[in-house]
């Protein structure tokens, strides 16, 4: 019996560079695949153009004009600066101490949580001038605030339960606030600098009562309940130490409302023989958050652009499943996870490098149009592309387009259906944004916290300060999460979808 010798076949070795035969080669193959299918670059280009055009059209339909005079704070921000002030001059260093014994709403409707009664050191009587104040509030305890945007919590005791002793001390360029419940043991709230103070400043007692509005929205419509904007603060044990050119306290309405206008009642100040001061006033000392969000208004085209990026991410993978070409891909590259990673990387690079110029151009054109329609400084700062929040919104919007495309790709791997994938992503990302305009506010804000639509918060240009009560309405461009936290929700959804897609390609047949 003759034995035929066995011939050993050497294993296949690619002639390509290892990087090209590995993940680098997959990236190149997927990149080439994308540009070979003519419909995909067309969808990408149309999506970019539509994003820019809708940004411009949205801006052209918006205008602003009239309204009250704008007050600008030390940092260039628009502020509210109106209150009842019983004051005198202080030259050099000095201290003011007082006890706040009561704070009540004049109409009996109830105090707003940020109604304020306390003591203040202010550079001048001019609205928007630097200041520091220590105050008692009915809803947030004792606070130290300065230059409108800064707020620091003090002891949280309730003014309704115990009077609050307050003290404000000037020493050079520093202002230090103190609080006490008995006038003996003092808690230091903080030492702050408010900028360049003149040698002579205004010090004294103040009361500010912002109008607080409560918005209720149901399926039948929206209702608004406004609380009173005038309150009375009661003070005693007023003590002043320092040099002053005044012999007595002078009462002034800083930022007095226009006669005959809304909330036009002047403030009052009375002093009893026992030295009890009653100040009745209105207004607020805080950032003004009532202006439209010009930055957010410049990105209306991104909402429509998401539809094209959703379709692009979906077709990039479901087309191969539909035509059976995915079997060829997995045969050529048995490591399916590398194939998924290459597809996700390529679609992310393509959508981001296209989306970033689109959002930058869209913002620039929309900003120019809004400027011509009345959105001008100082109420609406002239932001360049390299300044926050504009730069954050531009890059964040490009990331929003990118993440949605990758999310669509991952969902497409799981569902293997173009129609089902597009519908799923639209329901997750776009539908909650639409529903938030109609649902009751608690439900709307819940949707914008737990769904990928939270990522639209990255386009917010207005800073919402915690020391200002405001109604966060989705139709006004306000979101319950901060810009980066909102984007993080979409990142989490995308990561979860990719993990599910990874599990799917390893478990299922091609």
pTM of the model: 0.85
- Residues 157-167: what's their mean pLDDT? 79
Domain boundary among 287, 317, 336: 287
Q: What is the per-residue pLDDT across 493-503, written as a single tens digit (0 to 9) for each? A: 999 999 999 99
Give domain status of residue 444, yes or no: yes
Q: How far apart are CA 395 and CA 301, in angstroms?
A: 14
Q: What is the per-residue pLDDT across 101-155, written as a single tens digit (0 to 9) for each? A: 999 887 666 788 899 999 999 999 999 999 999 999 998 999 999 999 999 998 7
Do 314 and 283 lie in a common domain? no
Assign 176 a pLDDT band (cuts: 50, 70, 90): very high
Do 102 and 176 lie in a common domain? yes
- Residues 363-368: what's their mean pLDDT? 94
Q: What is the per-residue pLDDT across 190-205, written as a single tens digit (0 to 9) for each? A: 999 999 899 999 999 9
Give domain status of residue 159, yes or no: yes
Do 49 and 123 lie in a common domain? no
What separation in angstroms does the CA of 132 have from each of 78, 105, 321? Answer: 17, 24, 66
Do 269 and 399 lie in a common domain? no
What separation in angstroms does the CA of 11 have from each of 8, 15, 26, 329, 501? Answer: 9, 13, 21, 21, 32
pLDDT of 475 reads 80
Q: How far apart are CA 450 and CA 431, in angstroms?
A: 13
**For residue 98, what is the domain's CATH number?**
2.60.120
Give the chain's radius of gyration (CA, Å).
Answer: 31
pLDDT of 222 reads 62
Q: How far apart are CA 88 and CA 74, in angstroms?
A: 22
Residues 6+ apart with CB under 8 A from 42: none
Do 166 and 103 lie in a common domain? yes
Q: pLDDT at residue 262 above 60?
A: no
Do 191 and 318 lie in a common domain? no
Do 268 and 314 lie in a common domain? no
Do 300 and 269 lie in a common domain? no
Q: Which domain holds residue 119?
A: 79-287
Assign 256 a pLDDT band (cuts: 50, 70, 90): confident
CB atoms within 10 A of CB 207: 30
pLDDT of 67 reads 67
Q: pLDDT at residue 226 above 80?
A: no
DSSP string computed for 326-391? HHHHHHH---HHHHHHHHHHHHHHHHHHHHHHHHHHHHHHHHHHHHHTT--TTTS----TTSTTHH
Closest CA to 337 of 507, 462, 120, 453: 507
Across the chain, mean pLDDT equals 87
Give domain status of residue 343, yes or no: yes
Do 204 and 275 lie in a common domain? yes
Give domain status of residue 161, yes or no: yes
Give domain status of residue 7, yes or no: no
Domain boundary among 270, 287, 304: 287
Do 268 and 315 lie in a common domain? no
pLDDT of 16 reads 41
Q: What is the per-residue pLDDT across 382-416, written as a single tens digit (0 to 9) for each? A: 888 888 899 999 999 999 999 999 999 999 999 99
| Higher per-residue pLDDT: 128 or 509 | 128
Do 336 and 399 lie in a common domain? yes
* Proportion of the chain above pLDDT 90, given as a percent: 63
Q: How far apart are CA 118 and CA 189, in angstroms?
A: 14
Q: What's 172-213 look like in SS3?
A: CCEEEEEEECCCCCCEEEEEEECCCCCCEEEEEEEEECCCCE
pLDDT of 463 reads 87
- Residues 287-303: what's their mean pLDDT? 91
Do 445 and 487 lie in a common domain? yes
Closest CA to 398 of 483, 494, 299, 312: 299
Give domain status of residue 10, yes or no: no
Give domain status of residue 72, yes or no: no
Least confident range from 27-36, 59-68, 376-385, 463-472: namely 59-68
pLDDT of 216 reads 66
- Residues 14-29: what's their mean pLDDT? 63
Q: pLDDT at residue 228 above 80?
A: no
Q: What's 22-87 look like in SS3?
A: CHHHHHHHHHHHHHHCCHHHHHHHHHHHHHHHHHHHHHHCCCCCCCCCCCECCCCCEEEECEEEEE
Least confident range from 16-20, 86-90, 120-124, 347-351: namely 16-20
Assign 11 a pLDDT band (cuts: 50, 70, 90): very low
Exposed/middle/buried for residue 81 (C-beta within 10 Å: 0-12, 13-18, 19+): buried
What separation in angstroms does the CA of 146 have from each of 22, 84, 378, 416, 440? Answer: 59, 17, 21, 57, 36
pLDDT of 428 reads 96
pLDDT of 82 reads 94
Give domain status of residue 13, yes or no: no
Domain boundary among 287, 314, 335: 287
| Higher per-residue pLDDT: 504 or 16 | 504
pLDDT of 29 reads 84
* Cis upstream peptide for 373 (omega within 30°): no
Structurally, how many domains does the chain consist of?
2
């Amino acid at each position: 019996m003759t034995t035929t010798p066995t011939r050993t076949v050497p294993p296949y070795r690619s002639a390509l560079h290892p990087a090209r035969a590995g993940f680098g080669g997959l990236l190149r193959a997927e990149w080439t695949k994308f540009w070979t299918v003519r419909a995909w670059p067309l969808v990408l280009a149309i999506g970019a153009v539509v994003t820019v055009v809708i940004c411009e059209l949205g801006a052209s339909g918006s205008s602003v004009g009239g309204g009250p005079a704008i007050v600008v704070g030390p940092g260039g921000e628009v502020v509210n600066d109106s209150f009842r002030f019983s004051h005198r001059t202080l030259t050099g260093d000095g201290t003011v101490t007082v006890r706040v014994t009561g704070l009540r709403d004049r109409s009996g409707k109830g105090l707003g949580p940020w109604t304020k009664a306390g003591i203040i050191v202010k550079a001048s009587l001019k609205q928007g001038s630097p200041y520091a104040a220590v105050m008692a509030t009915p809803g947030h305890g004792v606070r130290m605030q300065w230059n409108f945007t800064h707020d620091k919590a003090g002891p949280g005791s309730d003014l309704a339960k115990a009077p609050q002793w307050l003290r404000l001390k000037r020493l050079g360029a520093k202002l230090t606030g103190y609080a006490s419940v008995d006038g003996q043991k003092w808690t230091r709230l903080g030492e702050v600098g408010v900028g360049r103070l003149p040698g002579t400043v205004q010090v004294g007692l103040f009361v500010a009562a912002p109008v607080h509005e409560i918005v209720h929205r149901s399926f039948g419509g929206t209702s608004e309940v406004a609380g009173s904007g005038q309150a009375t603060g009661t003070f005693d044990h007023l003590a002043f130490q320092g040099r002053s050119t005044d012999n007595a306290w002078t009462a002034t309405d800083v930022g007095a409302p226009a006669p005959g206008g809304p909330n036009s009642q002047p403030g009052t100040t009375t002093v009893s023989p026992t030295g009890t001061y009653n100040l009745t006033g209105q207004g607020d000392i805080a950032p003004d958050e009532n202006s439209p969000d010009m930055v957010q208004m410049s990105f209306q085209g991104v909402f429509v652009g998401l539809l094209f990026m959703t379709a692009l991410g979906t077709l990039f993978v479901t087309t191969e499943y539909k035509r059976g070409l995915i079997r060829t891909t997995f045969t050529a590259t048995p490591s399916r996870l590398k194939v998924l990673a290459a597809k996700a990387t390529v679609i992310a690079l393509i959508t981001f490098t296209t989306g970033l110029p689109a959002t930058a151009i869209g913002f620039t054109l929309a900003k120019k149009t809004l400027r011509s329609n009345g959105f001008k400084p100082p109420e609406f700062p002239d932001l360049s592309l390299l300044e926050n929040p504009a730069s954050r919104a531009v890059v964040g919007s490009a990331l929003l387009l990118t993440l949605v495309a990758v999310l669509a790709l991952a969902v497409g791997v799981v569902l293997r259906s173009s129609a089902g994938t597009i519908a799923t992503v639209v329901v997750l990302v776009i539908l909650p944004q639409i529903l938030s305009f109609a649902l009751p506010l608690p439900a709307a804000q819940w949707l914008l916290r737990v769904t990928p639509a939270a990522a639209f918060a990255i386009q917010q240009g207005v800073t919402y300060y915690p020391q200002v009560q405001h109604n966060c309405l989705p139709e006004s461009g306000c979101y319950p999460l901060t810009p980066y936290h909102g984007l993080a929700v979409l990142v989490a959804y995308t990561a979860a979808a990719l993990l599910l897609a990874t599990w799917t390609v390893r478990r299922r047949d091609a």
